[in-house]
């Protein structure tokens, strides 16, 4: 299993965002069937791709599939997906990861940039809470 990315001192105030993908560039993957997650580090100042995590079919066979996938992105605060079922969403939320459904394929870098801009301007409450936690401030 992939180990969580440990934040460097310069990463204070950033969050990790996972994007479910089949193609490697678009958010076009269903949470339960995508073959990889693009992991972006996002702060108010910038967003960058830091890792690609591939789903391990052998690990999924040994554990419940959605638990394995939720654990794979447990260090992220947001997961962008084309679709996610209710039970899978519950497993993700239990790990403090907020699922965001993207109804049409969109470039992952574009979606992450939209999130970054929202952080700068007017983040929704759930995103402001995640950022406050990342910055070490009370939510």
The better pLDDT of the pair 17, 127 is held by: 17
Residue 7: band (very low, low, confident or very high) from pLDDT cuts 50, 70, 90:
very low
- pLDDT mean across residues, the chain: 86
HSE toward the beta carbon, residue 41, CA cutoff 13 A: 15
Burial track 23-54 (b if 16+ CB lie within 10 A, e otherwise) = eeebbbbebbebebbbbbbbbbeebeeeeebe
**Sheet order of strands, 15-21 included:** 47-54, 36-42, 15-21, 78-81, 98-101
Residue 16: band (very low, low, confident or very high) from pLDDT cuts 50, 70, 90:
very high
* pTM, two decimal places: 0.85
Pairing of strands 15-21, 78-81: parallel
pLDDT at 1: 41
Q: What confidence tens digit (pLDDT) does each residue in 74-117 have?
A: 999 999 999 999 999 999 999 999 999 999 999 999 999 999 99
Is pLDDT at 10 greater than 50 in this prediction?
no
List the structure tokens of 77: 């605060």
pLDDT at 8: 45
Q: What confidence tens digit (pLDDT) does each residue in 26-76 have?
A: 999 999 999 999 999 998 889 999 999 999 988 877 778 899 999 999 999
What structural domains and CATH numbers belong to the chain?
A: 14-125 (3.30.420.130)
CB 15 within 8 A of CB 130: yes
List the structure tokens of 24: 């490697």
Percent of the chain clearing pLDDT 70 (strictly above): 87
Residue 129's SS3 state is: helix
Distance CA 133, CA 139 (A): 6
pLDDT at 36: 97
């Amino acid at each position: 299993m992939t180990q969580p990315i440990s934040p460097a001192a310069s990463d204070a105030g950033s969050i990790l965002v996972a994007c479910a993908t089949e193609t490697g560039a678009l958010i076009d993957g269903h949470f339960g069937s995508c073959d990889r997650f693009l992991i972006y580090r996002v702060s108010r100042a910038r967003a960058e791709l830091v890792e690609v995590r591939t789903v391990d079919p052998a690990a999924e066979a040994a554990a419940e599939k959605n638990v394995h996938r939720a654990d794979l992105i447990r260090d992220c605060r947001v997961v962008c997906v084309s679709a996610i079922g209710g039970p899978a969403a519950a497993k993700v939320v239990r790990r403090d990861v907020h699922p965001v459904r993207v109804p049409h394929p969109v470039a992952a870098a574009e979606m992450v940039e939209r999130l970054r801009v929202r952080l700068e301007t007017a983040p929704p409450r759930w995103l402001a809470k995640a950022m406050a936690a990342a910055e070490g401030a009370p939510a």
